[in-house]
């Protein structure tokens, strides 16, 4: 069977007999899977049964790039149904998406690690374990980005090469270095599953004989990722009018963060704590690694040589190590880097256009001020909408196991 896709190629569905490991079709297992009909916490359901994210920031009329305490958010890319979000949840935790059926999205986007993996550089295809215990696979050249609040973003990957969640999905799925799957195998796996055919039919109101397509897979995964909203930290309570939400040290750190001395908020702009732009800051590479040209390799724009997407600082306290290369193991090291001489980590043989907002001279902040800044960054932690991790998935393959210390799921 051939399926045309929006990506411009024709994928061939593999018949079940060609699959290396048949998926589970037992009626008793199929009965376990029904899609939720209500939106996740923090979303309201419209008359069209779409889930729309609702936050206190909706009340504020100021522009989203103003950086004020009560600034509005960018337009959300929401509008998925509850069923589509829940289907995406199953797919996200199902190893059937990988070429060897051993790696799910969650193996690298680990919920208890803020949907990163605790690794300096990501570990791709062939890796064993998950999170910071993952090892043995292909070593990637950059760290794993987090997924919180991607519903408000329009640029993805460290080099910003994707402009939508649907476009972003194809990168890891079909990369030989990451999940190692192919369109043919992925479509064959899901179309041969009675359970997945039923769930896709319910989520997307497909006709009786309509096959699962790559576009529908991307839509379901994008729907789930759009539900990962983190906007209820202690900082948010402070921003919405509770002066007791932050300690004196944290308030000092917040004031420094917004000051013209540090200029942190110029790029890590509240309330998302990212401006979703590309910036050249001259952060170092791991010892022995070659200089990473970043967005220049994608755009060819000389000013973007060494540029990377400005990451959100939401849940930053649990997403170490930091920078595109994971070169800093703590927030103290990150702040010390910015509080050092401008461009001090740029290799002598590289000419780059450093962002003018980073520190212009060495040691603008005292040690006490550095500590206050780090204390403030830790107030941005909010895991209250961590999704429920399924105990079983439609393929019947083993689900990733998480530490008992993982945040309690909210149940959505």
Q: What is the pLDDT of residue 356?
A: 85
Cβ-in-10-Å burial (0-12, 13-18, 19+) of 371 comes to: middle
Token code pair at residue 97: 């998406």
Confidence class for position 64, pLDDT limits 50, 70, 90:
low
Name the percent of the chain lying above pLDDT 90.
Answer: 78
**Does residue 68 surpass a pLDDT of 90?**
no
**pLDDT tops 50 at residue 181:** yes
Q: What is the pLDDT of residue 403?
A: 61
Query: What is the C-alpha separation between 144 and 122, in angstroms, rounded?
Result: 5
Least confident of 54-58, 98-102, 358-362: 358-362
* Res. 401 pLDDT band, cuts 50 70 90: confident
Task: Using the predicted structure, report yes or no on whether residue 86 has a pLDDT greater than 80.
Answer: yes
Average pLDDT over residues 290-307: 96
For the segment 58-62, the average pLDDT, to the nearest whole number, is 86
* Residue 358 confidence class, pLDDT cut points 50, 70, 90: confident
pLDDT reading at 407 higher than 80: no
Mean pLDDT of the chain: 89
Residue 69: its pLDDT value, please?
82
* Number of residues written out for the chain: 412
Torsional sign, CA 69, 70, 76, 81: positive
- pLDDT tens column, 239-270: 999 999 999 999 999 999 999 889 999 999 99
What integer is the mean pLDDT of 101-119?
94
* pLDDT value for 343: 86
Three-point CA angle 9, 12, 13, nearest 5° = 135
pLDDT (0 to 100) of residue 5: 43
Range scoring the smallest mean pLDDT among 150-154, 347-351, 366-370, 398-402: 398-402
Residue 7: pLDDT over 60: no
Residue of 178, 180, 181 whose CA lies nearest to 122: 178
- On the question of pLDDT at 402 being above 90, the answer is no
Contact between residue 101 and residue 118 where contact means Cβ atoms under 8 Å apart:
no
- In SS3 terms, the chain reads as CEEECCCCCEEECCCHHHCCCCCCCCHHHHCCCCCCCCCCCCEEECCCCCEEECCHHHHCCCCCCCCCCCCCCCCCCCCECHHHHHHHHHHHCCHHHCCCCCCCHHHHCEHHHCCECCCCCCECCCCECCHHHCECCCECCCCCCCCCCHHHCCCECCCCCECCHHHHHHHHHCCCCCCCCCHHHHHHHHHCCHHHHHHHHHHHCCCCCCCCCHHHHHHHHHHHHHCCCCCCCHHHHHHCCCHHHCCHHHHHHHHHHCCCCCCHHHHCCCCCCCCCCEEECCCCCCCCCCCCCECHHHHCCHHHCCEEECCCCCCHHHCCCECCCCCECCHHHHHHHHCCCCCCCCCCCCCCCCCCCCCCCCCCCCHHHHHHHHHHHHHHCCCCCCCCCCCCCCCCCCCCCCCCCCCCCCCC
Interval 199-250: pLDDT, tens: 999 999 998 889 999 999 999 999 999 999 999 999 999 999 999 999 999 9
Of the two residues 383 and 2, the one the predictor is more confident about is: 383
Does pLDDT of 321 surpass 90? Answer: yes
At residue 3, the pLDDT reads 41
Banded pLDDT at 30 (limits 50, 70, 90): low
Average pLDDT over residues 189-204: 97
Closest CA to 271 of 26, 77, 60, 115: 60
pTM: 0.89
Decide if pLDDT at 67 tops 80.
no
Q: How confident is the model at residue 357 (pLDDT cuts 50, 70, 90)?
A: confident
Does the pLDDT of residue 8 top 60, yes or no? no
Return the minimum-mean-pLDDT range out of 27-36, 82-91, 96-105, 329-338.
27-36
Q: Averaged over 183-191, what is the pLDDT?
A: 97
With left for phi above 0 and alpha for psi between -120 and 50, is residue 145 left, alpha or beta? Answer: beta
User: Can you give the pLDDT at residue 363?
Assistant: 82
The angle subtended at Cα 245 by Cα 233 and Cα 255, nearest 5°, is: 90
* Rounded mean pLDDT, 307-331: 97
């Amino acid at each position: 069977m051939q399926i045309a896709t929006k990506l411009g190629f024709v994928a061939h569905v593999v018949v079940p007999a060609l699959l290396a490991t048949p998926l589970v079709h037992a009626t008793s297992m199929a009965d376990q899977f029904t899609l939720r009909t209500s939106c996740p916490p923090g979303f309201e359901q419209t008359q069209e049964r779409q889930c729309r994210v609702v936050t206190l920031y909706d009340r504020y009329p100021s522009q989203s790039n103003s950086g004020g305490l009560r600034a509005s958010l960018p337009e959300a890319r929401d509008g998925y149904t509850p069923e589509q979000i829940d289907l995406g949840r199953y797919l996200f935790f199902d190893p059937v998406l990988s070429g060897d059926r051993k790696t799910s999205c969650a193996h690298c986007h680990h919920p208890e690690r803020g949907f990163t993996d605790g690794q300096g550089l990501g570990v791709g295809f062939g890796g064993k374990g998950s999170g910071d215990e993952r090892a043995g696979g292909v070593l990637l050249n950059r760290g794993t980005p987090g997924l919180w609040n991607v519903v408000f973003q329009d640029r993805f990957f460290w080099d910003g090469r994707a402009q939508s969640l649907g476009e972003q999905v194809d990168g890891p799925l079909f990369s030989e270095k990451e999940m190692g799957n192919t369109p043919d195998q992925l479509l064959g796996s899901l179309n041969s599953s009675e359970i997945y055919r039923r769930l896709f039919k319910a989520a997307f109101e497909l006709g009786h004989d309509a096959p699962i397509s790559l576009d529908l897979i991307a839509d379901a995964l994008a729907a789930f990722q759009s539900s990962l909203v983190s906007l209820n930290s202690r900082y948010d309570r402070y921003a919405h009018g509770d002066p007791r939400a932050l300690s004196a040290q944290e308030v000092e750190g917040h004031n420094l963060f917004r000051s013209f001395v540090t200029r942190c908020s110029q790029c890590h702009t509240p309330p998302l704590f990212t401006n979703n732009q590309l910036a050249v800051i001259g952060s170092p590479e791991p010892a022995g690694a070659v200089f990473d040209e970043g967005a220049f390799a994608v755009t060819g724009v000389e000013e973007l040589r060494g540029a990377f997407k400005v990451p959100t600082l939401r849940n930053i306290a649990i997403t170490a190590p930091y920078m595109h290369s994971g070169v800093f193991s703590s927030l103290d090291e990150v702040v010390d880097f910015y509080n050092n001489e401008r461009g001090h980590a740029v290799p002598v043989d590289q000419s780059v256009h450093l962002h003018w907002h980073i520190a212009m001279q060495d040691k603008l902040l005292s040690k006490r001020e550095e500590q206050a800044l780090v204390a403030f960054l830790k107030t941005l932690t909010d895991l209250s909408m961590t999704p429920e991790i399924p105990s079983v998935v439609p393929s019947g393959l083993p689900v990733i196991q998480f530490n008992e210390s993982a945040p309690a799921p909210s149940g959505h």
